[in-house]
Amino acid sequence: MARPLPWRRTAWWTRPLAMAAVLLIGLLAWWLWPSSGPRTIGPPPPTSIARAETPSPQPTAQRSPSAGPSVSGPATRRLALLLSPTLLRGEGGPAEVRIAPGIDVVTLELQGDRTAAPAGARLEVAIETVEGDHVWSGPGRREGRASLVASAEVPAERLGPGDYLATLSARGQTLHRYFFRVPRR
């Protein structure tokens, strides 16, 4: 008959040490695991996330001058800005986007109620300064990702330092408005 092994008492300090080792290994594995972007600690800003994108691998279609730049070739450098709709300019702070030298296109990723955009209707995005000066307008591309209504590619040179209002509309009806700022460098 097999005899049970005697119970062995471990030193009091080995358990915290073992837990710390497991935590350290897990943290190192998370930090070293390949990712598609930079690591940040803490939650993202509530209204926006700006991220640099890699140069586009293939040329995109030609566009009319009012719709934005004629983007061509793999040398195009992009920056994406995620915007949430705002009701008033004073709500919280504006989303900020710092446009580094060499960025050609700023892609506005517009969040909001996807059901507000009528099916089949052409989406339009217009950007103006808070003083009301027209900066850019062009088509909005419908997005299939959750919480995104549309996106628009804006030439970076059109967005100098200042405060801007972007308006998403369909069939002449305003769907959402977005407030953002380009700070001075």
HEC assignment per residue over 65-118 = HHHCCCCCCCCCCEEEEEECCCCCCCCCCCEECCCCCCCCEEEEEEECCHHHCC
Residue 71, pLDDT score: 47
In CATH, which of 2.60.40.10, 3.90.550.10, 3.20.20.100, 1.10.150.120 is domain 48-182? 2.60.40.10
Contact 48, 84 (CB under 8 A): yes
Domain boundaries, the chain: 48-182
- In this structure, what token pair is assigned to residue 179? 């407030």
Which amino acid, residue 6? Answer: P
pLDDT in tens, the chain (185 residues): 667 666 666 665 567 777 788 777 877 776 676 654 454 554 444 444 455 444 444 333 333 334 444 444 567 899 999 998 875 555 567 888 999 999 999 999 999 888 887 888 899 999 999 999 999 999 999 887 777 889 999 999 999 999 999 999 999 999 999 999 999 87
CB count within 10 Å of CB 27 equals 10
Contact 77, 55 (CB under 8 A): yes
For the full predicted model, state whether its pTM sits above 0.85.
Answer: no
